[in-house]
Amino acid sequence: MRHRPALSPPPMRNDCFALPAGVDWIPVETALAHLKSAVSVQSGVETLPLVRARGRILAQDVQALTSHPPHANTAVDGYGFAGGRGEGVHHLPLANARAAAGQAPKALPQGHAMRILTGAVLPQGVDTVVLQEDVTTDGQHIAFQGPIKRGSNTRRAGEDVIAGDVILTEGRLITPADLGLAATVGLGTLPMRKQLRVGVLSTGEELVQAGGKTRPGQIYDANRPMLLSMIEAWGMRAVDLGHVGDDRSDLRARFNQAAAQCDVIITSGGASAGDEDHVSALLCETGSMQLWRIAVKPGRPLALGMWQGAPVFGLPGNPVAAFVCTLIFARPALMTMAGAGWLEPEPLMLPAAFAKNKKPGRREYLRARLDGGRVQRFTSEGSGRISGLSWATGLVELPHEGAIINEGDLVRYLPFAGFGL
Ligand code: AMP
Ligand code: MG
């Protein structure tokens, strides 16, 4: 029998971004549905100590090792005894014993009460605790007013979590509270997805690295710091692939390098079908290139393709369009590849602080911010106005269809926080 080599197929097919023939301007919804079906998990699994897991993605369901609380205990400082008591005044003799947190408890003789402090395991013979503020004592006896129900001021073993319960599910983005929960139920490490390595490359002859010296005709590369920081905010590993001019062979060399280092490549600029649109031209050579003309504003065509097994997202160069396309299209795709599944933000329906007559035929995203419970839009919809991105705290999403929006009408507001920013 021939030995089968340990080969596995490329995770994504070369033609995975192909759209049905005859599609022209595709609605955002259709584009998202195609993208969703094209992408799959690309990240392996590693075990991380709790303190390194925040903001990362859980790779498997995780079960509690111990119950919480592990033992019945008292929720307050007070006096413990057995059974509840009805209306009226009650006197109990005090046992010469004390239960404090962290100690193994001794049993309480019947008919007695004992001093007990918050967090102490309930001794045998104690199932009820009366608050110390509700008690008078002479050191020998206690007196208190009823009624008090059996079980008052105590916590049952396992009332929060039972050993074996699934506490966190696969794909979850781990929060600080999750780490508290995981530690509580006995876990010291978590099975996490390895970080998706996302390369970010800027293209365009006119670009100069932030802080550098410009010559006439040159502008600063805004997209790279912006996109790299978004990738980092999403718990992925941002790989700075630098900048290349409008030169096909430079770009090819950089793509080769990138494919060796990254799971995904994000480029900005040069993604349309013009003479200097080298990203799309290069991707065409692979046979995988798809120019998605999405009916969205801001945003122009999105170039999608594969380079040596790595999916490439060719974003428009315009920073506002690059930002919006990254949030709406790249983020759910990257999150899926990273193992978190297709994540879309929960919109808030809030009254508009503006009026607008929106034409039909494309979805629009307005830079917006909250203003006294209403949503205000940026003064200009000009997609060159990057200051509006910085001013905004989110986006207003307007439907593909036409719409007349009056002040006070409810609009879909997508806070940047909902995109993990
Ligand atoms: P392109 O998509 O290459 O046609 O670029 C569209 C517009 O975005 C042009 O005005 C570019 O100069 C500008 N642009 C492209 N890349 C960047 C970038 N990284 N930072 C700032 N502006 C850019
Ligand atoms: Mg360009």
Greatest pairwise CA separation for the chain in angstroms? 95
Q: Is the dihedral of CA 362, 363, 365, 371 positive or negative?
A: positive
Three-class secondary structure assignment of 21-45: CCCCCEEHHHHHHHHHHHCCCCCCE
* Token pair in block for residue 152: 């008052």
**pLDDT over 70 (residue 141):** yes
Mean pLDDT to the nearest integer, 374-383:
92
Q: Quick one: pLDDT band at residue 16, thresholds 50, 70, 90?
A: confident
Q: In whole angstroms, what is the distance from residue 351 CA to residue 374 CA?
A: 5
Residue 133 has pLDDT above 60, yes or no: yes
Cα–Cα distances in Å, from 259 out to 86, 268, 311? 75, 16, 9
How confident is the prediction for the chain on average, in pLDDT? 95
Q: How far is the CA of 269 from the centre of ligand 2 (A)?
A: 5
Long-range contacts of 116-121 (CB under 8 A, 24+ apart): 116/74, 116/77, 116/78, 116/79, 116/80, 117/74, 117/77, 118/74, 118/75, 118/76, 118/77, 119/73, 119/74, 120/73, 120/74, 121/71, 121/72, 121/73
Quote the tokens at residue 272: 């349309």
Q: What is the per-residue pLDDT for 78?
A: 98
Helix ranges (H only) for 140-198 are 176-184
| CB-defined site of ligand 1, < 6 Å | 202, 204, 206-207, 219, 221-223, 268-272, 316-319
Q: Which ligand is nearest to the CA of 206?
A: 1
Residue 21: pLDDT above 70? no
For the ranges 138-142, 284-288, 289-293, the maximum mean pLDDT occurs at 138-142
Closest protein CA for atom 18 of ligand 1: 221
How far apart (Å, rounded) are the C-alpha atoms in residues 418 and 173?
A: 13
Q: Give dist(CA 191, CA 71) in Å, integer.
A: 27
Q: What is the tens place of the pLDDT at every residue in 159-182?
A: 999 999 999 999 999 999 999 999
Amino acid at 8: S
Question: Which numbered atom of ligand 1 lies nearest the CA of 318?
Answer: 8
Query: Residue 326, by phi and psi: left (phi above 0), alpha (psi -120 to 50) or beta?
Result: alpha
| Cβ partners under 8 Å of residue 16, min gap 6 | 38, 39, 288, 306, 311
Residue 8: its pLDDT value, please? 81
* Bridging pattern class, strands 136-137 and 141-148: antiparallel
Query: Binning pLDDT at 50, 70 and 90, where does residue 287 land?
Result: confident
Strand partners of residue 294: 26
Is 287 exposed, middle or buried, given 0-12, 13-18 or 19+ CB atoms closer than 10 A? exposed
Helices (H), 269-412: 278-285, 319-325, 331-338, 387-391
For residues 393 and 368, the answer to whether their CB atoms sit within 8 Å is yes
Q: Which ligand is nearest to the CA of 315?
A: 1
pLDDT at res. 1: 52
User: Of all atoms in ligand 1, which is nearest to the CA of residue 271?
Assistant: 2
pLDDT of residue 2: 61
Ligand nearest to the CA of 225: 1
In ligand 1, which atom is closest to the CA atom of 316? 2
The pLDDT value recorded for residue 36 is 96
How high is the pLDDT of residue 22? 63
pLDDT for the residue numbered 6: 81
